[in-house]
Amino acid sequence: MIKNEKAKATIKTPSPIISDSIQTVEKNTVVQTKGFNLWYGDHHALKDINLDIKKNEVTAIIGPSGCGKSTYIKALNRMVELVPTVKTNGEINYRGRNILDPSYEVEELRTKVGMVFQKPNPFPKSIYDNIAYGPRIHGIKNKKILDEIVEKSLRGAAIWDEVKDRLNQNAYGLSGGQQQRICIARCLAIEPDVILMDEPTSALDPISTLKVEELVQELKDNYSIIIVTHNMQQAARISDKTAFFLNGEVVEFDQTDKIFSTPRDKRTEDYISGRFG
Ligand code: ADP
Ligand code: MG
C-alpha cells in the first residue's frame, strides 16, 4: 500500500519547474475573485470584479466615494448579505473554495477573514474582555490560555505596553487611536488569515494614523491585508498592490508603485492626480 502510494507520487510529480509555478500560484493566492457581480435591489454595485489577493501582501482598494469599496470588502466575509436586497453571482474563492456557495460555513469564514471598521468599535467592556471575547465564544475558558491570547494579540497590535497595567479598565477610556488598535487586537485574537480594513485610520489623528500604518506593515508578515482607503498617500506608503475602483468596476489593478507612477488607464491617472474624487 505504502509502496504503491510512493510509486504513484513519483509518477505524478511533474517536472520541478511546472510543479513549482503551479504551487506558487495556488499557495500565494488567498482570495480569488472571479467574475463577481453584486446588486442592491436593482442597483448594480459591483460589476465583473476579478482580483487576486496574495498571501503576506497589503492590497489597497482606492476610489471615489460610492464606487463599491466597502461593498467589495464586505462581500469577502459575506457581511454584505446582511442587507436583504443583495444578490450576487460569480465566484469568491477563499483558499480554493467558493465562499458564495450556500453550504459554505459563514461563521468559520468570519474567523478566518477578520474585519476592522472605519470607526473604532470596541465593546463597552474591559480591555481584557474585548480581546478575550472571540476566543471565549470559541469555547476557550482556561484563564492561563486566555491571558496568553490577550497578551499576544495586544502585542501583535502594538498596544501591549500602553495598556498592560490597565487591562481591567473599560476600553472606552482609551483614545481613538488606541481603541482602533484594540479592535485590531480583537481581530488578531481569533487568529485570522485575512484582515479586512475599511478606512481604518479615517477617524484617527495623524500620529495614531502613522501607528496603524506601521502596524499594517508589520502584520503583513503573518496575514494578508486588504485595506480600503481614500487617502492615496496612505495606499502608496503601505500597500504592495492597489486596485482602483470606479462606479463598481475595477479600472486598474497592479503593483502599487506602477499605479502611482505609470498608470495604464487615463481614469486612474486622473484620479491619482486629484482631478476628481
Ligand atoms: P464606497 O465604500 O466606495 O464609498 P459603497 O460600497 O459603500 O461605496 O457603496 C457602493 C454603492 O452601493 C453606492 O452607490 C451606495 O449608495 C450603494 N449602497 C451601499 N450600501 C447599500 C445598501 N445597504 N443598500 C443599497 N445601496 C447601498
Ligand atoms: Mg466605504
Q: How far does residue 168's CA lie from ligand 1's centre (Å)?
A: 38
Phi/psi for 16 (5° steps) reads: -55, -35
Whole-angstrom distance, CA of residue 176 vs CA of residue 178: 5
If you measure from the C-alpha of residue 77 to the centroid of ligand 2, how many angstroms do you get, rounded to a whole number?
Answer: 15
Counting ligands in written order, the one closest to the CA of 243 is: 1
Alpha-carbon distance 116 to 192, whole Å? 12
Give the closest ligand to the alpha carbon of residue 74: 1
Report the C-alpha gap between 28 and 95 in whole angstroms: 9
- Tell me what pLDDT residue 275 has: 83
DSSP helix/strand/coil, 18: helix
Pairing relation of β-strands 249-255 and 43-54? unpaired
Whole-number Å distance between alpha carbons of 277 and 265? 16
Task: Convert the pLDDT of each residue in 151-188 to its tens digit.
Answer: 999 999 999 999 999 999 999 999 999 999 999 999 99
Q: What is the signed CA dihedral for 195, 198, 199, 201, rounded to 10 degrees? A: -50
- Gap from CA of 198 to ligand 2 centroid (Å): 7
- Quick one: fold of 17-272? Rossmann fold (3.40.50)
Residue 232 Cα to ligand 2 midpoint, Å, equals 15
Q: Which residues line ligand 1 (CB under 6 A)?
A: 40, 43, 45, 63, 65-71, 83
Among 147, 250, 277, which Cα is nearest to 265's?
A: 250
Does the pTM surpass 0.85? The reply is yes
Boundaries of every domain in the chain: 17-272
**DSSP 3-state assignment of 203?**
coil
What's the pLDDT tens digit per position in 59-101? 999 999 999 999 999 999 999 999 999 999 999 999 999 999 9
- Mutation test residue for ligand 1: of 39, 43, 118, the one with most atoms within 8 Å of CB: 43
With 0-12 CB in 10 A as exposed, 13-18 as middle and 19+ as buried, what is 64?
A: middle
φ/ψ of 84, rounded to 5, equals -65, -25
Q: C-alpha cell of 129? A: 474582555
**Ligand approaching nearest to the C-alpha of 67:** 1
The enclosing H or E element of 185 equals: helix 176-188
**What pLDDT is recorded for position 4?**
46
Instruction: For residue range 15-70, list pLDDT tens digits in order.
Output: 434 444 444 455 799 999 999 999 999 999 999 999 999 999 999 999 999 999 99
**Which residues lie closer than 8 Å to 240 by C-beta, 6 or more apart?**
54, 57, 58, 59, 220, 255, 256
- Specify the ligand 1 atom closest to the Cα of 85: 24
Alpha-carbon distances, residue 146 vs 127, 134, 136 (angstroms): 13, 10, 8
Question: Which of 76, 102, 83 has the alpha carbon at shortest distance from 39?
Answer: 83
Q: Atom 24 in ligand 1: which residue has the minimum CA distance? A: 40
266-275 CB burial, b ≥16 within 10 A, e <16? ebbbebbeee
